[in-house]
Structure 1
């Protein structure tokens, strides 16, 4: 077992590559342990590949199995060998979503009986307790309480991760699942408002008015972007930007090469795409860099 170990809890295949793909690749290359737990197979995702539309939930309902293969390919691109589904593949189904008039996601009107949004919190968190006590990570990464943009599965993943970490640290809780383990540092992934504004300005200056077209570089931004002062940690994994791009391309049913992520990369370079930001919400802040932020999720851990 590597001396330093990171656990990430994400809702669907592709969320991990979008949020922390470069950081994952960097830590694998440095010999640190990286474990990914994905809570659903993304069965309700929108399919962006026309020839695969027959996999949709309202047709053959086989998208989850296909996305399982996409996740395998993405993890191979990042070098991650330990990736699991919460409670096993198929235990929890993608809940789906719809858009609120205010521009954020909310739960769909019709939700499958086995949807992750409906999962019993203690049951789901206990599945994670088992992983935490096996892997014994010093660092855990998940979403904030709003799940970034309101997706019910992101919110539920946040709840499961936070409660699972608490239960895992309680010696008297489910002794049969192993020795108690207290995760030293917990982070919520995020992108600072200032950084997003810089990216939008670069796109507009390059003549691209279609990517993120509804967002004004100088106006209000969606709640997924975090005030600059709340970003405590910034991992520079720019050397692994190309691996992150390869992982994004592996999720072909969800992300297109002419989509906004690739537009940002074209204008800022893969090095900028590899700069990933976090908010420390549990544990002590380690030594900081010139910008006043940690540069390593494991900073301060002996």
Structure 2
């Protein structure tokens, strides 16, 4: 049975590589369709160009998909557009519904309710994705966004506690005065071993060059870790699973072998 198609929805360029670069590379290598929707930054910005480079390294054949809103902390990241958190909720949901219906993924991956770091754009992306994943399958909602399509499951990136990778990452961000938001390990329904794709994932993270040179950014902090510790952080990706439709015979709607639900 073919690997399920994956649509990743994250707030900023680089979030996709940090949170789900491993499963994107893994699914792409298995021949699955993969694509990424990014909520913020303009399509003609330098960060969108870096995103395209990162996706190519991950094997994502599709061009970056951008909702086109401004970053909460960088208003000029999308000239003429509102900050993502300030945009009308219904408008943002409809934009994402259009991408879901156009790509027709088996699964959608995105931020969890904490957004990992608590960044407003991360948290809002979670809200918009949750609403859009449900609305996309209903023909009575957002009819101008295309024919309805309901993904089989929604996977939300999370950091389980206790966990060795979470402990390393929490200490790393605490060193620059930030906090990693965690969830009880029992809530995590999929722990995906992506070690075979960790080098590709790390290359994709570094492709976000403008972030990698910012000393307080996560790509820069990861670059300062000893290689064995960085491998622990990058080698497993964790997700909270939400089923969107009942399992159907012959339909693959879960992370392929290596994920547990």
TM-score tier by shorter-chain length is 0.7 to 0.9
Structure 1 unmatched runs, 5+:
44-63, 98-111, 204-209, 216-220, 287-295
Q: Give the drift of 1:95.
A: 1.1
Asked if residue 254 in structure 1 is aligned to residue 202 in structure 2, the reply is no
State the distance in 2 between where 1:271 and 1:213 align: 18
State the distance in 2 between where 1:66 and 1:4 align: 31
* Alignment: residue pair count: 242
- What SS class does the counterpart of residue 205 from structure 2 fall into? helix
State the distance in 2 between where 1:79 and 1:236 align: 18
Q: Using structure 2 for the length normalisation, give the TM-score.
A: 0.80
Of 134, 138, 142, the match for 1:166: 134
State the distance in 2 between where 1:138 and 1:276 align: 18
- Runs of 4+ in structure 1 off by over 6 angstroms are none
Moved more, 64-73 or 27-36: 64-73
Alignment of 1:1-302 (within 5 A): 4-41=4-41, 65-87=45-67, 91-96=68-73, 114-196=82-164, 200=168, 211-212=172-173, 214=175, 222=179, 224-256=181-213, 259-264=220-225, 266-268=227-229, 270=231, 273-283=234-244, 297-298=255-256
Per-residue displacement from partner, 1:50-105 (whole Å, max 9, x unpaired)? xxxxxxxxxxxxxx711111111111111112243444xxx3111118xxxxxxxx
User: 2:112–2:126: 8 Å Cα contact kept in structure 1?
Assistant: yes
Structure 2 unmatched runs, 5+:
75-79, 248-253
Q: Using structure 1 for the length normalisation, give the TM-score.
A: 0.70
Q: Which structure shows the higher helix fraction?
A: 2
State the distance in 1 between where 2:163 and 2:246 align: 21
State the distance in 2 between where 1:139 and 1:237 align: 17
Q: Give the drift of 1:226.
A: 1.9
Moved more, 165-174 or 277-286: 277-286
User: 2:95–2:145: 8 Å Cα contact kept in structure 1?
Assistant: no
Provide the alpha-carbon RMSD of the alignment: 3.3
For the pair shown, the structure with the greater C-alpha radius of gyration is: 1
